[in-house]
Structure 1
Amino acid sequence: MTSDNFETFNFNDSLQEGLDAMGFNKPTPIQKEAIPVILNGNDLIACAQTGTGKTAAFILPILHKIAEKGDNQFNTLIIAPTRELAIQIDQQIQGLAYFVGVSSIAIYGGGDGLAWEQQKKALEHGTEIVVATPGRLIALLAGGKMKLDTLEHLVLDEADRMLDMGFSDDILKIINYLPKNRQTVLFSATMPPKIRQFSRKIVNDPQEVSIAISKTAKGVKQMIYMVHDSQKENLLEHILTQKNYEAVIIFASTKDKVKSIFKTLKKKFNVEAFHSDLSQEEREKIMSNFKNKTLKILIGTDIISRGIDVEGIELVINYDTPSDPEDYVHRVGRTARADKKGEAITFVNQKDLHKLHKTQNLIGLEIPRMDLPEKMERGPEYSEPKARKSKQPSKGNLKKEGKHKKPRNARKHVQSNSNNTSKDTPKNEKPSTQNKEESQNPGKFRTRRNVTD
């Protein structure tokens, strides 16, 4: 028995039997770090991206606790930003909870009346775990449809995405309904200052676990094309005809662009568009067809960059360069999962070069540039990132500060060229050690996993 074996956690016998039956032997890095913290009852802030096994990292210790307690009361509330992620979490719970006799239900908006009736009945008959989106959950709480006095665990999954989607006020409103004596677990793919500030409002003396995410998987062959917007559709069609791909995801920046690409591709390819204008039934059908490979190509926005677990994605295409470098990591993370191979292609126009430079700096890699097909006209030129120029005070500013008063450190500046993120550093000051370390060591992405999201 080693530290790399699930048996070291001393899970409930039925839960361990289930893990053995499903062939799960070794915990992933985030599971090894997070599971003991949750088992000990501490609040937790964990940073780990989709694909590292984070879902099982909070599900397994909670299932163990519920099984050991042995009652059938409502115990755990899991909040997720999208209905797709809520459904996925619920499905994984059901797979693992089968062996310990624990039930769960996914609660989300956008479905038809029948789906809503089924959700209400499940709540009325009792369930130990509820996975919910914020909007639907608030409606339930406001209507008095949920009793929370027995709740012991609160899990916020994809916390950064929830804040990006504007759910921070909703989350705090939900917190007000919950018992203060509870264990709170917050998982986030990124950990910017706003997440830390937000977490202070909902966790109590938390422990922190972080699995670095700034690297893409080794199995991903990454490429970029320098291309004008007018060339993108032709290039996209050319790429899709070079190989008989079984599973492709195309990311676009807006819902309207998703629809436009779909309109063009549907004439030649087995493709569907995934966007918020579709009904819940339509979205579930599309995702089901994509998972079972009857649908080959899926087009969508960042709504499908996180929380959608589909095995065997061969190719990811960024039709538009992601604005946020972390979004690039998440999009590319759809392929080459579980040590498999995959390709990721990004279209870059002239005005998006700065986005590419930010992404390359984050992942610590200059992405290879590919030549456009011979029949296509030449695309825009690639250029290296420009070093920022120091902003010297103007004469007008000097006058405002006083005729004989010079601004502090208004001398010559020395430019730092660390990892293409040049920042002006006053001559008499030393660069921040923290920033230097962050730029030189953007983190390691760990690819070994067993129980994944």
Structure 2
Amino acid sequence: MKFIDIDFTEPLHEGIEAMGYKECTPIQEKAIPVIQERKDLIACAQTGTGKTAAFLLPILDRISQCPDDSKIRALIIVPTRELALQIDQQIEGMSYYSNVSSIPVYGGSESDMWSRQKQALSSGADIVVATPGRLLQHLGFNYVDLKEIDVVILDEADRMLDMGFYEDIVKIMSETPDSRQTLLFSATMPSKIRKLANTILNDPEEVNIAISKPAEKILQVAYMVYDKNKVALIQSLLEGKDYLNGAIIFCSRKSDVNELSRALNKLNLHSAAIHSDLDQKERENALLDFRSHKIQLLVATDILARGIDIKDLDLVINYNVPNDAADYVHRVGRTARADASGIAITLISDKDQSEFKDIEVLIEREILKLNTPPEIGDSPVYAPNSKRHHGFNKKRRFYKKKK
């Protein structure tokens, strides 16, 4: 389906054309008609499938037909500040000809940030894009009126619940009218998402876009390596790679992000760390330096695995095997975008081999496994528990520990 065939206002079509959108993605084709019918929706689709446009375009179209600057019309709740800023920028681009206002609401240390957010929330903005904690802080001062909201969108809902925002979301939803339309977008659909959906949605339609396998142009490789040798292995992999446009190293823990970034900088492999404990300015500066190629390396938690638009990424390294197999797909999906090629390297220790086998089952592919170079150290034997993976039929490789 083409965007030109959808019943949007002419100003919005002009914005869509300016953004370069032509063909709808599967999530857009399935979700937009449901949203236009004002039905509640549960949509399961991973990052990179076009889900942001899927919910923004019909909402922008609706608001532009009945403008009212005196109240908040739509609320988009997101897990991170980066995603709030990115969605706000997309609203600005899509609604360039539609005169729809928006405000991102997120935490930070800038002196005038609170007052700017308070002013916008008090006087009314068409669309508010907010992180749960910051929005609740504003709600506590009784100058935010959510009683006339027409639609609430929860984006990256599974990530928000992983971050402990379940109660915050329920509290925010209690401040909105029962007549609202509620749209829940999630990359995965665990039981806790179903529980939330049963609490806040009314007879929802469901749209499921199966999780995509990593793009064929991603070269996927794994190294068998003990934890103590991981930094040396990364140094070996990155030295002399000045031609890289950029690389992200994903860690599962914030402490690993800090330690690895410091270790790489000592080796003159200049990197910046990104995780949720850093203040907004530090995170923005790190992304700005990376996007402008002042640095080639970002070391990050899964905060960067979803939703954040980073172009021209050549390499992804998984310092830790992610506990959730779907997170592997999100991580490596940061590279090889827009028909480009890319490399994804995962470091497998002796402790997380079963988790890696779960990944291979999910993507229905056995990934090439290499030993640690002998000058760096020994390699653990690859021997995941076969009883847990009876659905994987391909021939397995086992690697003997080097002497």
TM over 0.5: yes
Please say if 1:354 is aligned against 2:354: yes
What's the secondary structure of 2:199's corresponding residue? coil
Q: Distance in 1 between matches of 2:371 and 2:351?
A: 19
Identical amino acids, percent of aligned pairs: 49
> What is the one-letter code of the residue matched to 1:366?
E
Q: Give the TM-score taking structure 1 as reference length.
A: 0.83
Q: Distance in 1 between matches of 2:290 and 2:149?
A: 36
Task: Give 1:146's aligned residue.
Answer: 144
Please say if 1:28 is aligned against 2:25: yes
Q: Distance in 1 between matches of 2:195 and 2:278?
A: 35
- Matched ranges for 1:390-409 at <5 A: none
Q: Distance in 2 between matches of 1:194 and 1:214?
A: 22
> What is the one-letter code of the residue matched to 2:391?
S
Task: Give 2:246's aligned residue.
Answer: 247
- Matched ranges for 1:29-428 at <5 A: 29-72=26-69, 73-213=71-211, 215-244=213-242, 245-267=244-266, 268-387=268-387, 417-419=390-392
- Check conservation: 1:48, 1:213, Cα contact below 8 A: yes
Q: Distance in 1 between matches of 2:28 and 2:56?
A: 10
> Which runs of 5 or more residues in structure 1 are unaligned?
389-415, 422-453
Higher-Rg structure is 1
Q: 1:166 to 1:60 in 2, by over 3 A?
A: same
Q: RMSD between aligned alpha carbons?
A: 1.7
- Check conservation: 1:134, 1:170, Cα contact below 8 A: yes
Q: Distance in 1 between matches of 2:374 and 2:24?
A: 48
- Check conservation: 1:361, 1:420, Cα contact below 8 A: no
Q: 1:220 to 1:311 in 2, by over 3 A?
A: same
- Check conservation: 1:226, 1:379, Cα contact below 8 A: yes
Q: Distance in 2 between matches of 1:111 and 1:131?
A: 18
What's the secondary structure of 1:351's corresponding residue? coil
CA positional deviation for 1:362: 1.1
Q: Distance in 2 between matches of 1:316 and 1:158?
A: 21
> What is the one-letter code of the residue matched to 2:321?
T
Q: Distance in 1 between matches of 2:86 and 2:93?
A: 11
> What is the one-letter code of the residue matched to 1:71?
D
- Check conservation: 2:73, 2:148, Cα contact below 8 A: yes
CA positional deviation for 1:232: 0.6
Q: Distance in 2 between matches of 1:9 and 1:39?
A: 10
1:134-182 Cα offsets, whole Å, 9 max, x none, are 1111111221121123210100001111111111111111111101111
Q: Distance in 2 between matches of 1:384 and 1:242?
A: 34
Q: Distance in 1 between matches of 2:226 and 2:60?
A: 52
Q: Displaced runs of 4+ in structure 1, greater than 4 A?
A: none
For this pair of structures, how many residues does the alignment match?
391
CA positional deviation for 1:384: 4.9
CA positional deviation for 1:377: 2.8
Please say if 1:15 is aligned against 2:12: yes
Q: Distance in 2 between matches of 1:360 and 1:255?
A: 26
- Check conservation: 2:78, 2:156, Cα contact below 8 A: yes
CA positional deviation for 1:38: 0.5
Q: Distance in 2 between matches of 1:379 and 1:357?
A: 17
CA positional deviation for 1:381: 1.4
Q: Distance in 2 between matches of 1:170 and 1:74?
A: 19
Task: Give 2:401's aligned residue.
Answer: none
What's the secondary structure of 2:55's corresponding residue? helix
CA positional deviation for 1:383: 2.0
- Check conservation: 1:214, 1:362, Cα contact below 8 A: no
Q: 1:330 to 1:230 in 2, by over 3 A?
A: same
CA positional deviation for 1:227: 0.5
Task: Give 1:426's aligned residue.
Answer: none
1:317-346 Cα offsets, whole Å, 9 max, x none, are 011111111111111111112222111100
Q: Distance in 1 between matches of 2:277 and 2:201?
A: 35
Q: Give the TM-score taking structure 2 as reference length.
A: 0.93
Higher RCO by CA contacts (8 Å cutoff, separation 6 or greater): 1
> What is the one-letter code of the residue matched to 2:257?
V
CA positional deviation for 1:9: 1.1
CA positional deviation for 1:375: 2.5
Task: Give 1:431's aligned residue.
Answer: none
What's the secondary structure of 2:32's corresponding residue? helix
Q: Distance in 2 between matches of 1:201 and 1:9?
A: 32
- Check conservation: 2:77, 2:130, Cα contact below 8 A: yes
What's the secondary structure of 1:347's corresponding residue? strand
Of the structure 1 ranges 67-76 and 154-163, higher mean CA displacement relative to structure 2 is found in 67-76
What's the secondary structure of 1:350's corresponding residue? coil
Of the structure 1 ranges 203-212 and 277-286, higher mean CA displacement relative to structure 2 is found in 277-286
CA positional deviation for 1:22: 2.4
Q: 1:373 to 1:120 in 2, by over 3 A?
A: same
Q: Distance in 2 between matches of 1:372 and 1:149?
A: 59
Q: Distance in 2 between matches of 1:126 and 1:232?
A: 51
Of the structure 1 ranges 110-119 and 323-332, higher mean CA displacement relative to structure 2 is found in 110-119
CA positional deviation for 1:365: 0.9
- Check conservation: 2:147, 2:175, Cα contact below 8 A: no
